[in-house]
A and B are shown apart, each in its own frame.
Chain A
Amino acid sequence: MPTIIEVSNVRKVYKNDSVETIALEGISFKVQKGEFVAIMGPSGSGKSTLMHILGLLDKPTSGKYFLEEEDVSLLNEDRLAELRNRKIGFVFQAYNLLPRISALKNVALPMIYGGLEEEEGLIKAKRLLEMVGMGDRLLYTPSQLSGGQQQRVAIARSLTMNPSLILADEPTGNIATSQAEEIMKIFVDLNKKGHTIVIITHEEDIASYAQRIIYLRDGKIVKESKSKRIVKKLV
């Protein structure tokens, strides 16, 4: 299996008015193509910081990050934007849909930046929304949808450009437990179809859907384990 993520001794220090916060303190790990990994840890342990670095939204203070074997520290802003568009699908805790436009257009949005034809894009967006069970809400705007529904739209959007990696930061954090399970099943399905998924959570239940769990504490990896669920299956 080829390596999709390789993080090597990554540190991140935030500096605000002479106050330094060490968010990540020398993190190293790899994710192989097709894996479903959860990054777990209490609040403030550096999960979001890590996800921003993995998602090319932020740069480490030191250390290396290779995305599909490419050293991203050498890339300029435009190239990073291109990689975010093509290789990474984001799912945020707060969904981050554009409030004024329909679910369909939200899902098609990455295509404006990826150079796909509009018509082709809308057909694809419709198919993706059907896949996450939102086929009957294509023209609803975000405010007309529940949290769980909005997150399904956001997941559909993360798939628009066929990314090799899906990054989800507490995707169920704002969602009722009953719906959270549904959302996680979508991720499991996507993973079965071959998508590499890295999910961030502080809930054991949610992490247990992944094959592998990386535990963070105070900016350091403290433990790694196979998911209980997988372990159960194996037993």
Chain B
Amino acid sequence: MDYKEIISEAISSLLLNKTRTGLAALGVIIGIGSVIALISLGQASQKAVENQIQSLGSNLLTISPRGASVGGVQRAGGTGTTLTLDDALAILKQFRGSLVNDVSPEFSGRRQVTAGRKNINTQVIGVYPQYAQIRKIQIDKGYFISTRDVEGMTRVAVVGPQVAIDLFGEGTNPVGKSIRIEGIAFKIIGQTLAKGGQGFGNPDDSIYIPLSTAQKQIFGANYLTSIAVEVKDDNIMTDAQNQIGYFLLERHRLTSPENADFSIFSQADVLSTASSVTSTFTTLLAGIAAISLLVGGIGIMNIMLVTVTERTREIGLRKALGAKNKLIIIQFLLEAVILTLSGGVLGIVLGITVSFFLSHSMGLPFTVSLLSILLSFGVSVLVGIIFGIYPARKASKLEPIEALRYE
């Protein structure tokens, strides 16, 4: 059996009716295009999530207060007042060197901030100096909050670049200028380096002040809204999460994790929920892919059935000349597969183009993996086989005389 001959015959018979062939392949083109775009965007958002974990620190644990459950009713997260500076310091004392590098006690809330006649409402965060290192904040101008600032409860502030722009306009150095938070004057001692929008609480749109100042003078609270813990190594995250958890439970005199008045989560935990947003889009694309592949496949089947009817005489002749049923099946199956495969190639080009523009407009990195291209080839061939087998079998079942007589 000479497959080269059969393939070239299949191609020439497809080229005979280019418009029809093109229209038949359209569904496959769109379907495969969606598959490529789907995988490409999925991987792009996956990569974006990974980048984000990297930029936030993959060895970062965040402890938040959780309203203790009262009669089975849980108060909303972040509203508890159970976390204290002592908790943070105790964690550091207990685990430093073994599990933990450092700890950052934090208090944050939104407050009214003014400079001259400019007035904004933004995130004000009371911090220890460790905050910068643990939260990966870099200083662009001036200095970050120091231990002396915390101990002396000074009224100094470090602003994010967005805050600087909002209050003083673009291109102005805010260091040395004065702002008012809740009417209290603060001197700006530094500005952070732009980090880019990051999920909850954009660090570029935040103001950092000493924790002591924040608690006593701005928020009037003696608890923390969060403790960030830098774990020694990201391989021991779960271990650290557990040990710190039980340590805190004991400190808070709680007996079981179900009653915990705090929660501990890693960046991976946070972002896995955040990335479910992109999965909506992914599902949509998967739907389009599935439907157009189905419709495309039915289109292929339809066109192959027409071809079989048109070529009844040819099939009869081939059988008279000695073609076995298997070979007739292979011939028509090959035609269907070549058709879906060329649709697949065009679909890959389409999918790459679409995902390039989509990832661009969604601010995601653009990736096309070899795997998705191989998968697309596989799917194209599969569609050709699934929807080509019925027409091919129909062709092979034609009786040679009936076929020869057919006009």
Contacts and interface: CB of A to CB of B under 8 A. Distances in A.
B322 A98 contact: no
A100 B325 contact: no
Given A98-B314, A101-B9, A57 B320 contact: yes
A81 B324 contact: yes
A58 B320 CA distance: 10
Contacts of B1: 112-113, 115
A90 B400 CA distance: 13
Nearest to B6: A112
Contact of B317 (A82, A85, A98): A98
Interface string A50-94: 001001011000000000000000000110011011100010100
- Range of interface residues on B (Cβ < 8 Å): 20 to 34
Interface string B49-81: 000000000000000000000000000000000
A52 B326 CA distance: 22
Interface string B380-407: 0000000000000000000111001000
A41 interface: no
Contacts of A96: 313, 317, 320, 404
B4 A118 contact: yes
Given A77-B324, A96-B313, A118 B9 contact: no
Interface in A93-109: 96, 98, 100-101, 109
- State the 8 A-B residue pairs at the shortest beta-carbon distance, nearest first: A85-B322, A113-B322, A81-B324, A110-B321, A57-B400, A57-B401, A96-B317, A84-B322
Contacts, number: 68
A107 B335 CA distance: 22
B317 to A, nearest CB: 5
Interface in A173-205: none
Given A96-B313, A96-B404, A112 B5 contact: yes
Interface of B: 1-2, 4-6, 9, 12-13, 16, 313-314, 317-327, 399-401, 404
Highest count of chain A CB atoms <10 Å: which of B4, B12, B325, B400: B400
B327 A113 contact: yes
Contacts of A78: 324-326
B321 A90 contact: yes
Given A52-B401, A113-B321, A115-B1, 18 more contacts: A57-B400, A77-B324, A81-B323, A81-B324, A81-B325, A90-B320, A92-B404, A96-B317, A98-B317, A101-B12, A109-B318, A110-B322, A112-B6, A113-B318, A113-B322, A113-B323, A114-B322, A118-B5
A161 B320 CA distance: 13
Q: Is the interface of A mostly helix, strand, loop or mixed?
A: helix
Interface string A100-138: 110000000111111101100000000000000000000
A96 B12 CA distance: 19
Contact of B13 (A86, A100, A114): A100
A77 B319 CA distance: 10
Contacts of B326: 78
Contact of A57 (B12, B13, B324, B404): B404
A112 B2 contact: yes
Nearest to A121: B2
Contacts of B12: 100-101
A15 to B, nearest CB: 14
Contacts of A101: 9, 12
Nearest to A58: B401
A175 B12 CA distance: 30
A209 B319 CA distance: 30
A98 B16 CA distance: 13
Contact of A84 (B4, B16, B321): B321
28 contacts: A52-B401, A55-B320, A57-B320, A57-B404, A58-B399, A77-B324, A78-B326, A81-B319, A81-B323, A82-B322, A85-B322, A96-B317, A96-B404, A98-B314, A100-B12, A101-B9, A101-B12, A109-B318, A111-B2, A112-B1, A112-B5, A112-B6, A112-B323, A113-B323, A115-B1, A117-B2, A118-B5, A157-B321
Contacts of B317: 96, 98
Nearest to A82: B322
A157 B404 CA distance: 16
B94 to A, nearest CB: 81
Interface string A206-234: 00000000000000000000000000000
Highest count of chain B CB atoms <10 Å: which of A57, A58, A82: A57
Contacts of A111: 2
Contact of A113 (B4, B16, B324, B400): B324
Highest count of chain B CB atoms <10 Å: which of A84, A111, A161: A84
A52 B403 CA distance: 12
Contact of B321 (A85, A100, A117): A85
A90 B32 CA distance: 45
Contacts of A115: 1
Given A57-B401, A118-B2, A118-B4, A84 B320 contact: yes
Contacts of B6: 112
Contacts of A52: 401
A81 B318 CA distance: 10
A176 B61 CA distance: 96
